[in-house]
Amino acid sequence: MRELAIVNALLVDPASGRLGQGALLLRDGAIADIAWGGAAPETGEGKRRIDAEGLVVTPGLVDLRAFLGEPGAEFRETLGTGSHAAAAGGVTTVVCRPDTDPPIDDPAIIDFIQRRARDKAIVNVLPAAALTKGIEGREITEFGLLLEAGAVAFTDGAKALRNPQVMRRAMIYARDFDALLMNHVEDPDLRGVGVMNEGEFASRKGLPGIPVEAETVMLERDIRLARATDARYHAAMISCAESVELVRRAKADGVRVTCGVSINNLTLNENDVGDYRTFCKVSPPLRHEDERLALVAALAEGVIDVVVSDHDPQDVETKRQPFSEAANGALGIETMLAAALRMVHAGQIDLPVLLAALSTRPADLLGLRCGRLTVGAPADLILLDPDAPFVVDKRKLKSRAKNSPFDEARLEGLVRTTLVAGRVVYEADAV
């Protein structure tokens, strides 16, 4: 493979927090040399050069939670369309949810995902395996065989594991493999028929609410079980200040607990539902603005470990319904970075800290070498113009579905180029 030099860049290494002018040399799919201070690395014959003047160069994002459709829901998304949307959003590694049809609960299905990804995807696609067989919440899957086949974590996707005995058994089993368990923390009994955040706004809209206790009761249960079993446990997405405090206390006690937050809950609140906008019907629901601000502060502090897109494409027929009947889910993978940069522009969080939650920390949770600017790390990189303004047009999004809660939103931050293993897989159209 030819060498590729990226020069005149503002390098941001989220793993160390270092930020400064510099240049990179890429060779054979990896970072071969880094020159901080602006000097260009030496390159050999057949070199290619990218002038990144005015752009930020940083590791590609690692998204721990995205629904990519295959197998069984190709009308919503495919590995091909989802990977193109990911590349346009600066995401170079995607963990796909296992709640497909059939679910990813067998090594043969993992093999299918891997082969399809090699043929169709332009970014790295890693399968998460089902936590329980058939995602029915009754019997845990064969963790050892699934890990051997290539699974990177275990989750039942958008379904919470409600049976505490099954969760306890899963944690004990996973501990022996040091496997990562990711649960969707929303008690279905406490959620009931709720469709949005419980509170005054829901009452004025005449919609049944979902209390924060639907999240915190299950989260506290899982933390207690993780403490008792010493398992690696990850709360897939939290959405309120009380959950932040539960995680904070657990970490202080040495429990092996981490947590994520959806870009939706981090940048939107219940008022964005407006006049029953079903594109803003998500799980967990958009909360009160005070809860959102608590999440932002927890991310800046490091209590929240990762930011996920919660990319969940939905068919038009499932969203063009009365709010109470519409399906949960929103597009997120293509707009996640630009939406997250709202917090940087508002002075709420530093850019390296944000990028660590989008790349380094999720990579560390999965034991991956990406997410850092170091010699030998994979050359999965993005060239970002953090101040470039644009208006989101759902018709131009690369996902097969169009249910974006940011449709017509004014955002700042365009990915100009995305590289995977040193190869350019996406270049933005010239303005």
CB contact at 8 A, 382 and 370: no
Other beta carbons within 10 angstroms of residue 237's beta carbon come to 30
Element (H, E) at 88: helix 79-88
At a CB cut-off of 8 Å and minimum separation 6, what does 218 contact? 160, 162, 183, 185, 186, 187
Q: Across the strands, what pairs with 389?
A: 412
Element (H, E) at 366: helix 361-366
Structure tokens of 59?
Answer: 């590791």
At a CB cut-off of 8 Å and minimum separation 6, what does 198 contact? 209, 210, 211, 212
- Distance, first Cα to last Cα, the chain: 30
Q: What are phi and psi of 331, to 5 degrees?
A: -65, 150
Give CA–CA dist 187/284, Å, rounded. Answer: 11
At a CB cut-off of 8 Å and minimum separation 6, what does 377 contact? 30, 31, 59, 369, 370, 371
Give CA–CA dist 308/171, Å, rounded. Answer: 23
Estimate to the nearest angstrom the gap between the alpha carbon of 63 and the chain centroid: 3
Give CA–CA dist 332/260, Å, rounded. Answer: 15
CB contact at 8 A, 360 and 14: yes
Compute CA distances 373 → 44, 287, 420, whole Å. 21, 35, 14
Q: Which of these is catalytic: 222, 310, 312, 385?
A: 310
CB contact at 8 A, 64 and 362: yes
Q: Across the strands, what pairs with 412?
A: 389
Give CA–CA dist 360/364, Å, rounded. Answer: 6
Whether 310 is catalytic: yes
**SS3 of residue 157 by DSSP:** coil
Q: Across the strands, what pairs with 19?
A: 12
Active site residues: 310
